[in-house]
Amino acid sequence: MAHHKAFSKQRWSSAQKVELHLFATEKKRHMDISDLANQALQRYGTFINQETSDIKDDAEILEIGCGPACVSQFIPHGHKTFLDPLLDDFRRLWPGSLPKGTFITGMAEQINMPDQSYDFILCLKTISHVQNPELLLHEIERLLKPNGKLVLSANTWPVPFAQLHYFTAKIFPQWTLKDRLYCYTQRGIENSLQRHFNIEKSYVLPATHTLSLKKERLYVCTPLTNT
């Protein structure tokens, strides 16, 4: 599949507002931030524990698109850096509730950190929401150490649905592009990852709804220099 053509920053900002509204709705329903974190831990904890079993105390860990759950807080070792464009909003919604670590409020396509800064990068269900997925993968490739590891997940859809989303988004973006800008097929996300990384393992996570068309796939990747 060809590279995704990036959407405008205006369209991305609109999608971010929709996503923030969803979190604000959770807050109004008295959803505590620990509830969100525990839900994420139940879904991803087994995989993350498995892939971080050799993490050292001095490891540098980056979570891109951490949301308010900040799943990497549950990795027992290493220093955590959490990145999300809505972090300041999360602080206002849940004051004093975010975990300890370094926080970066900003877009994932340009992270002001030196090359090869991180031993482990976590990016869960984020690539479909950024303005430019290809730049995100370039940035992860730049930031990952030669012996580092990336764990990335994405929702994938049947080919007809993804094609319908693509063409509808070009004609009626106000209907299609809400919180999710991009709609990946399995082949599409794997082709994108393989331009930058070796895919070492992949998993299909349990469906959250019985009749759902989408499948969340989780990929464990290493730098291409390891080949």
**186 and 217 Cβ atoms separated by less than 8 Å:** yes
pLDDT at 171: 75
In which element (H, E) is residue 25 found? helix 9-28
Residues (pLDDT < 50) of the chain are: 1-2, 227
Give every CB contact of residue 24 below 8 A, 6+ residues apart in sequence: 93
Domain range annotation of the chain: 9-226
pTM (2 decimals)? 0.92
CATH code given to domain 9-226: 3.40.50.150
- CA-nearest of 73, 117, 77, 121 to 97 is 73
State the Cα–Cα distance between residues 60 and 53, nearest whole angstrom: 14
